[in-house]
Amino acid sequence: MKLYTYWRSTAAYRVRVALHLKGLPFEAESIHLVKGGGEQHGESYRALNPQGLVPALVTDSGVTINQSMAIMEYLESQYPDPPLMPSDPIEQAQTRAMAQMVVADVHPLNNLRVLQYLKKQGWEQDQVDEWYAHWIHQGFSALESMVQDRSTVFMNADYPCISDICLVAQIYNANRFDVPLTDYPTLLDINEKCLKLEAFQKAQPENQFDAVV
Amino acid sequence: MKLYTYWRSTAAYRVRVALHLKGLPFEAESIHLVKGGGEQHGESYRALNPQGLVPALVTDSGVTINQSMAIMEYLESQYPDPPLMPSDPIEQAQTRAMAQMVVADVHPLNNLRVLQYLKKQGWEQDQVDEWYAHWIHQGFSALESMVQDRSTVFMNADYPCISDICLVAQIYNANRFDVPLTDYPTLLDINEKCLKLEAFQKAQPENQFDAVV
């Protein structure tokens, strides 16, 4: 399998964790999201993924799958062991819901292309930072209240699931923007537990071959 | 099952279609998203769904599931017939990816709470409309290029899937904002086919008990 990735992309980060948790070998190709206006907008990458976003996974049979959630669901269906979701249907639904709360309601608002758009509208960095933090707090406060009384080690199970993966990638991003996260002790605790695992460490942005740190 | 819904919510619209396509009876409770600052922010609804967004589905066993994609996946797993996804793993992945392209990369940017935020920043209606249209065009142009050469009746199969459901709800929303969609003939064609089906008609915003038209 081949993953089109960028070290700082939180969506690519999610898929890297999933691949490493499942112990799946993959080739990584870097798509630089900033250099020269962004390689993701180039013709060759658009031919592969018309949306011009990373990640994209090319399967062993040569088919491209875009969208991190779709890729993780695909990996889960094809390589179920170890699982990234509980088997109970309700627990599974809640796992997906928590993942979507990040994937659909936090990350898209704070994505590079959106922040670029706002700056083009004349927003100062302060205004952009406030916007960024607002959506983190909206999403994280809901997530914190949903997980604070849970008895599981991670968000939805005693092993990391897609919800945890999405959380960890988003916390990395929030830290980049210096958003204070002290109101979310349970989320921070889960993040810490995840980052002790080798799969998460291998997937961390600063440990990627294309990282500039 | 009980669905917390609002007639104009595109995310609730998705779930209504899924329920009707599967022929599942449900009780609908309206959460008015505008009146009095929005009932979704009230204490009683937040207790049910801490995110304060619709839809939320309460299952027969009394558990709440939020996030439209998680709800549709839950319905698919529990009531597989008729399916809302192809059975082939790659086709399934592409169906999920196309759904996510709307759910994660178009809709969250054009959601009520986001437009309200931008207006609070002093944006004029023109500027908000331009923002709205921008993300529709970004998402729809990628989707159009992905489906234009397909041989299936709908986006991913000869029956409507979650991808079609997400598309139809988003086109309804785009029409509200008068976004010209003539560049997306395949998407419009699929939309038209869907709207001929009874399940979509039953789920349409203007046909809801809480609609104000």
If asked whether residues A95 and A193 sit together in one domain, one would say yes
Contact B114 A109 (CB under 8 A): yes
Name residues 178-207 of chain B within 8 A of A (Cβ). none
Per DSSP, A110 falls in state S
Closest partner CB to A100 (pick from B52, B67, B113): B67
In a domain, B59, yes or no: yes
If asked whether residues B97 and B189 sit together in one domain, one would say yes
If asked whether residues B102 and B139 sit together in one domain, one would say yes
ipTM above 0.95, yes or no: yes
Domain closes at, from B63, B82, B101: B82
> Where is A65: in which H helix or E strand?
strand A64-66
* Strands of chain B, DSSP E: 2-5, 27-30, 56-58, 64-66
Contact A15, A68 (CB under 8 A): yes
Contact A213, A14 (CB under 8 A): no
Supply the pLDDT for residue A33.
87
Supply the pLDDT for residue A97.
98
Contact B108, A108 (CB under 8 A): yes
Contact B92 A74 (CB under 8 A): yes
Question: What tokens appear for A128 in the block?
Answer: 């952009």
Task: State the total domains in chain B.
Answer: 2
Residue of chain B whose Cα is closest to the Cα of A127: B121
Write out chain B's pLDDT in tens, 213 residues: 999 999 999 999 999 999 999 999 999 999 998 888 888 888 889 989 999 999 999 999 999 999 999 999 999 999 999 999 999 999 999 999 999 999 999 999 999 999 999 999 999 999 999 999 999 999 999 999 999 999 999 999 999 999 999 999 999 999 999 999 999 999 999 999 999 999 999 999 999 999 997
The secondary structure of B4-49, three-state, reads EECCCCHHHHHHHHHHHHCCCCCEEEECCCCHHHCHHHCHHHHHHC
In a domain, A110, yes or no: yes
If asked whether residues A98 and A179 sit together in one domain, one would say yes
Candidates B168, B170, B174; CA nearest to B196 is B168
If asked whether residues B108 and B167 sit together in one domain, one would say yes
If asked whether residues A71 and A93 sit together in one domain, one would say no
In a domain, A142, yes or no: yes
Quote the percentage of chain A above a pLDDT of 90.
92
Q: Over chain A, what is the mean pLDDT?
A: 96
A-interface mutation test, from B48, B51, B77, B161, most A Cβ less than 10 A away:
B51
Omega into A55 within 30° of 0, i.e. cis?
Answer: yes
Residue of chain B whose Cα is closest to the Cα of A134: B117
CATH number, domain with residue A161: 1.20.1050.10
Supply the pLDDT for residue B105.
96
If asked whether residues B125 and B40 sit together in one domain, one would say no
If asked whether residues B105 and B193 sit together in one domain, one would say yes
If asked whether residues B53 and B93 sit together in one domain, one would say no
In a domain, B182, yes or no: yes
Which residues 6+ apart lie within 8 Å of A86 measured at CB?
A92, A95, A156, A157, A161
Supply the pLDDT for residue B62.
96
Question: pTM of the predicted model, to two decimals?
Answer: 0.97
Highest mean pLDDT pick, A38-47, A162-171, B44-53 = A162-171
Q: A162 in helix, strand or coil?
A: helix
Domain closes at, from B82, B103, B125: B82
Candidates B162, B123, B172; CA nearest to A73 is B162
If asked whether residues B110 and B194 sit together in one domain, one would say yes
Domain with B25, as residue range(s), is: 2-82
pLDDT of residue A213 exceeding 90, the answer is no
If asked whether residues A70 and A105 sit together in one domain, one would say no
Distance CA(B9)–CA(B98), nearest Å, equals 20
Supply the pLDDT for residue B37.
83
Domain closes at, from A82, A103, A131: A82
CATH number, domain with residue A54: 3.40.30.10
Name residues 2-61 of chain B within 8 A of A (Cβ). 50-53, 59, 61
Contacts of B59 in chain A (CB under 8 A): 90
Supply the pLDDT for residue A37.
83
A114-138: per-residue pLDDT in tens?
999 999 999 999 999 999 999 999 9
In a domain, A159, yes or no: yes
Per DSSP, A87 falls in state S
